[in-house]
């Protein structure tokens, strides 16, 4: 019976990993629905390729860089590895939506080699892993259970760097005006967002690390409950705010609001009482409603709202732990959270910007104007998502 | 023989089709089209930004009729497609030089 905990926790990690991997089709469907039909194959190819590249890099070098060794006493090391590997794909999938409809596949795959093999593992190293900053001035005392900062804002900062270097889609901002490019398939957007929502239960629940005792089982259940609550209130607030401000219920924004709430809760879903996540998720959803038009004003073209969902709420969620769950005796303080946000921001943004800038010199990230007009499905993949003759206007 | 092209609101198609069947019209071709007239389109909202939809979805009904049936067909379509609101559409009439039924090779009025 002494193996019981080991077996249960291994099973738990494998189950959580499976849920997290459901977020890969989640991102893919969300993005496929939000782009124009001429770019659907391309966005799906990017999603699949970078998921494979990042996970493979994590297997080859990333895991060891992050955790120092392949050892785990609490569960099968293979399950521990798979659980961690499931996260790296999320970091890069966050990027793929924000750069869609103009990014070329080869340069972003190349950047993903760095992201999966170096940038993300180093962020994990200093937060959850071996901690090469231990004892230095920069040593992080940030509480980030499932990665509001480690995953969401990490992906967000890299995305911001990519968007700044690539520029907007052709025709998106004309004569200082915003040219709206509507989504092509709302049912896919809904499917994708709800798959992400379900995946989040593994993302946050699994991050508790163990379920094989009564206390841990309670913590896992509370974590998943709080995660869900924040998604609900994010969706509700986004819907209410959109209606108050524009008199319209825009489902793409309501879902972004839900995802914003889910990102915001991710840093500390195990720390809050059952009602606090209502407020944290609501602020997350509200931030999305205000951030989406703001990024548009700044001409940072983000077709899916990934900056608003993952970057803005990654920061908010990490700070929220410092506001709502500060426990100085346990080392959780607002300043500690802020420092974690800042250190990761400076590191990820600087390294990503430099890497993308250099790759961009040899392999331009942005497809040419003519290629964008024709659609990346044809120019990048040679395969249109919807080749038949219908609704071809 | 004349060709009648009617641009109508999509949700009036059933009424127009039924009314035409009532007066003995045996066939027509319809297609989904988009367009605008004097009033232009309308504005919509996406993710907090307004945009103008110039081209509104319409249905184009095409049919070829004998000259003596033309007025009755035009009246029928006008009546069945009318809602009284803007964007009810237009009907265009033009001459037809020749009609051939592909299966039998019949021409002229027999082929309609």
- Confidence bin at A393 (pLDDT 50/70/90): very low
Residue A346 has pLDDT above 70, yes or no: yes
Contact call for B45 and A292, based on CB within 8 A: no
Q: Please report residues of A whose CB lies closer than 8 A to that of B34.
A: 393
Looking at per-residue pLDDT, the higher value among A102 and B42 belongs to A102
Among partner residues B49, B51, B55, which is closest to A293 by beta-carbon distance? B49
B32-42: per-residue pLDDT in tens?
999 998 878 78
Rounded Cα gap, residues A384 and A377, in angstroms? 5
Residues A7-29: what's their mean pLDDT?
Answer: 97
How much is the average pLDDT of A71-85?
95
Q: Examine the pLDDT at A143 and tell me if it is beyond 80.
A: yes
Interface list for B 4-23 with A (CB within 8 A): none
pLDDT of residue A386: 86
pLDDT digits (tens, 9 = 90+) for A252-294: 999 999 999 999 999 999 999 999 999 999 999 999 999 999 9
A322 has a pLDDT exceeding 90 = yes
User: Which residues in B1-32 are b (16+ Cβ under 10 Å) and which e?
Assistant: bbebebbbbeebbebbeebbeeeebeebebee
- Taking CA–CA distances from A254, the nearest residue in chain B reads B47
The whole-number pLDDT of residue B41 equals: 77
> If you average pLDDT over every residue of chain B, what do you get?
93
Q: State mean pLDDT over A316-324.
A: 97
A80-93: average pLDDT:
96
Other CB atoms within 10 Å distance of the CB of residue B64: 18
Mutate to test the interface with A, among B47, B52, B53 (most CBs of A within 10 A): B47
User: Residue A392 pLDDT more than 60?
Assistant: no
Per-residue pLDDT at A163 exceeds 80:
yes
Q: What is the mean pLDDT of residues A168-177?
A: 91
- Kindly identify which residue of chain A lies nearest to residue B56, measuring between CA atoms: A393
User: B49 and chain A: CB distance < 8 Å anywhere?
Assistant: yes
Query: Which residues in chain B touch residue A253, judged by CB atoms under 8 angstroms apart?
Result: 47-48
Nearest CA in chain B to A294: B48
The fraction of chain A above a pLDDT of 90, given in percent, is 91
SS3 content of chain A, % helix, strand, coil (to 5): 70, 0, 25
Angular region, A358: left φ>0, alpha ψ -120 to 50, beta rest: alpha
In the numeric block, the tokens 């919509």 are attached to B44
State which residue of chain A sits closest to B52, comparing Cα positions: A180
User: What integer is the mean pLDDT of A19-36?
Assistant: 97
Residues of A in contact with B44 (CB under 8 A): 182
Interhelix angle for B70-81 vs B13-22, to 10°? 150
Does position A390 have pLDDT exceeding 80, yes or no?
no
For the residues A177-193, what does the mean pLDDT come to? 95
Whether B49 sits inside 8 A of A245 (CB atoms) is no
- CA A178 vs CA A160, A194, B45, B49: distances in Å: 19, 29, 12, 8
The answer for A 232-261 residues in CB contact with B (under 8 A) is 242, 245-246, 248, 250, 252-253
Number of inter-chain CB pairs under 8 A, A vs B = 36
Q: How does residue A391 score in pLDDT terms, banded at 50, 70 and 90? A: low
The distance of A235 to chain B (nearest Cα, Å) reads 14
- Contact list in B for residue A252 (CB cut-off 8 A) is 46-47
What are the pLDDT digits (tens) for B49-87?
Answer: 888 888 899 999 999 999 999 999 999 999 999 999 999
Which residue in chain A has the smallest CA separation from B43? A180
Residue A52 has pLDDT above 70, yes or no: yes
Q: Which of B48, B52, B54, B58 to mutate to test the interface with A (most CBs of A within 10 A)?
A: B48
**Are the beta carbons of A246 and B46 separated by less than 8 Å?**
no
Of A178, A248, A296, the CB nearest to B45: A248
CB contact under 8 A, B47 and A252: yes
pLDDT over threshold 50, residue A173: yes
Mutate to test the interface with B, among A35, A176, A179, A180 (most CBs of B within 10 A): A180
Our CA-based measurement puts residue B52 at a distance from the nearest CA of chain A, in whole angstroms, of 9
- Quote the mean pLDDT of chain A: 95
pLDDT at A14 over 80: yes
Long-range contacts of residues A289-294, Cβ cutoff 8 Å, at least 24 apart: A289/A237, A289/A238, A289/A241, A289/A242, A289/A245, A289/A253, A289/A257, A289/B48, A292/A253, A292/A256, A292/B47, A292/B48, A293/B47, A293/B48, A293/B49
Report, as an integer, the average pLDDT of A77-92. Answer: 96
Inter-chain touch A253–B55, beta carbons under 8 Å: no
Query: Are residues A250 and B34, on separate chains, in Cβ contact within 8 Å?
Result: no
Q: Of B32, B46, B55, which is closest to A250 when you measure between CB atoms?
A: B46
């Amino acid at each position: 019976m002494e193996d019981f905990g080991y077996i249960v926790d291994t099973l738990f990690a494998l189950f959580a990993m499976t849920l997290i991997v459901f977020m890969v089709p989640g991102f893919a469907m969300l993005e496929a629905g939000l782009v124009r039909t001429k770019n659907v194959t391309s966005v799906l190819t990017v999603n699949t390729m970078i998921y494979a590249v990042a996970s493979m890099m994590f297997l080859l070098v990333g895991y060891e860089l992050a955790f120092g060794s392949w050892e785990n006493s609490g569960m099968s090391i293979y399950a521990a590895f798979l659980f961690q590997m499931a996260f790296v794909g999320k970091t890069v999938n966050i990027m793929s939506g924000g750069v869609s409809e103009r990014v070329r596949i080869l340069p972003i795959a190349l950047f993903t080699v760095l992201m999966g093999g170096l940038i993300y593992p180093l962020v994990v190293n200093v937060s959850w892993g071996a901690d090469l900053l231990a004892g230095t001035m920069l040593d992080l005392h940030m509480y980030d259970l499932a990665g509001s900062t480690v995953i969401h804002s990490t992906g967000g900062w890299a995305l911001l760097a990519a968007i700044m270097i690539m520029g907007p889609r052709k025709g998106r901002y004309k004569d200082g005006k915003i040219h709206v490019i509507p989504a092509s398939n709302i049912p896919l957007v809904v499917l994708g967002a709800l798959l992400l929502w379900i995946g989040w239960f593994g993302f946050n629940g699994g991050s508790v690390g163990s379920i094989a005792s009564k206390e841990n089982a309670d913590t896992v259940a509370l974590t998943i409950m709080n995660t869900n609550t924040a998604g609900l209130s994010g969706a509700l607030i986004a819907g209410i705010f959109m209606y108050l401000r524009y008199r319209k219920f825009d489902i793409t924004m309501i879902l972004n609001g839900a995802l914003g709430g889910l990102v915001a809760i991710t840093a500390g879903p195990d720390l809050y009482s059952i009602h606090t996540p209502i407020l944290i998720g609501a602020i997350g959803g509200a931030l999305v409603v205000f951030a989406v038009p703001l990024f548009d004003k700044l001409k940072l073209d983000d077709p899916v709202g990934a900056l608003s969902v993952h970057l803005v709420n990654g920061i908010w969620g990490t700070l929220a732990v410092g506001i709502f769950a500060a426990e100085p005796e346990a080392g959780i303080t607002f300043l500690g959270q802020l420092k974690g946000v800042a250190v990761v921001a400076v590191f990820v943004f600087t390294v990503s910007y430099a890497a993308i800038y250099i790759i961009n010199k040899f392999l331009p990230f942005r497809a040419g104007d003519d290629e964008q007009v024709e659609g990346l499905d044809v120019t990048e993949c040679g395969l249109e998502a919807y080749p038949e003759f219908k609704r071809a206007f | 023989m004349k060709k009648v092209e009617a641009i109508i609101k999509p949700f009036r198609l059933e009424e127009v089709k039924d009314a035409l069947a009532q007066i003995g019209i045996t066939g027509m071709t319809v297609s989904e089209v988009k367009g605008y007239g004097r009033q232009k389109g309308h504005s919509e909202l996406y993710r907090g930004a307004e945009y103008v939809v110039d081209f509104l979805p319409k249905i184009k009904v095409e049919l070829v009729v004998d000259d003596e049936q033309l007025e009755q067909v035009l009246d029928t379509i006008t009546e069945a497609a009318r809602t009284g609101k803007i964007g009810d559409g237009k009907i265009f009439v033009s001459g037809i030089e020749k009609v051939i039924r592909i299966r039998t090779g019949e021409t002229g009025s027999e082929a309609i």
